[in-house]
Amino acid sequence: MISLIDLKRQYKSISQEIIESVKEVFESGKYILGPKVTEFEKKCAEYLNVKHAIGVGNGTDALVIALESLGIGKGDEVITTPFTFFATAEAIVRVGAKPVFVDIEPLSYNIDPEKIEEKISEKTKAIIPVHIFGQVCDMKKIVQIAKKYNLYIIEDACQAFGAEFEGKKAGTIGDVGCFSFFPTKNLGGFGDGGLIVTDSDEIAERARMLRQHGSKKKYFNEMIGFNSRLDEVQAAILLVKLKYIDNWNKRRIEIAQKFSTELKLDGLVTPKKSNNYEFGHIYHLYVLQHEKRELIMEYLAQKGIATGIYYPVPLHLTKALSFLGYKEGDFEVAERLCKKSFAIPMFPELTDEEIEYITTSINQFGGSL
């Protein structure tokens, strides 16, 4: 069976480095906000070319803390996409604000910047663009809109570590960027982990306080915060992996190019790269569209090829967010893509033979009808 992602292969390639790095943590006796976290934050800030990088417990906490660091809360509105993982909207609701959805572009799956302005109200405080599947949103237009209406931008770059837009890394273009180090991410740990990045000293100070019970100094709490710190062991693992992220992303791009060139099935829509930057799309997932999605997925399962659906339900139609009052038909593009899009295997360790087998199998599907 070819998995959607095979984490064991990546571990085997760097296992000795991982073991040595984690061993240093065990032997140090420093397990919370220790030297590995400090070093990882420094290396991330350098890699992303940003002033501050703050490690937190996970990507969801990164979004929540970013919102709170900007003072966004009850009575505020935050514009975002309905085609994303639940955490994006969950974080907005968690701080007491209201998610306001905007439909997506049919080929990039990203929020449609042409539809943002019509959703801005006096209550709007921020925009959360999500760089879905590893492709950066049209940040040039989004930044222009944010400046025009004096709005914050919080980039949900949880799927896009290492992606670029106009010479800047994803997560560093807006006021704050948020990342997840969930194991399946392009840069993933061996458990949960997250990161907040910003060039603002004030936002960074608030984020650092919020991640540790609202305090700068232990026992001297200045605000109600969280217990959300990047684990020292995860930092040790991520430090090793950070050295390889560009090579891994390049391999993902190479695999995506092979897929896009070789897939010939009638009616199949392959991912569209919306800019020409080398890392404009780093393919966290390789997502296809087809009207006969279920039949293709069943056929590939018989061939020993795993597939997945990201996402089966747009956020505005989830039970948890029904209180927002949205209904079916409100965001036609997102709803349509939830019914016809599916992912095929994508991870750097895929072999050329496996790539050929996957593309050949998909192309042969037409002959099975």
Catalytic residues: 185
> Shortest CA distance to 103 belongs to which of 316, 264, 260?
316
- Say which amino acid occupies 84: T
Q: Please say whether the beta carbons of 44 and 84 come within 8 A.
A: no
Q: How many CB atoms are located within 10 Å of the residue 364 CB?
A: 12
Determine the Cα–Cα distance for residues 182 and 7; give it in Å rounded to an integer: 12
C-alpha dihedral, 107 to 111 to 113 to 119, nearest 10°: 140
β partners of residue 288: 342
Direct distance between the N- and C-terminal alpha carbons of the chain, in angstroms, rounded to an integer: 23
CA angle 341, 343, 349 (to 5 degrees): 165
Q: If you write DSSP's letter for every residue of 13-68 in order, what string do you get?
A: HHHHHHHHHHHHHHHHT--BS-HHHHHHHHHHHHHHT-SEEEEES-HHHHHHHHHH
Positive or negative: CA dihedral 315, 321, 324, 328: positive
Contacts 24+ apart (CB under 8 A), 317-320: 317/82, 318/86, 320/86, 320/90
The backbone region for 134, taken as left when phi is positive above 0, alpha when psi lies in -120 to 50, beta otherwise, is left
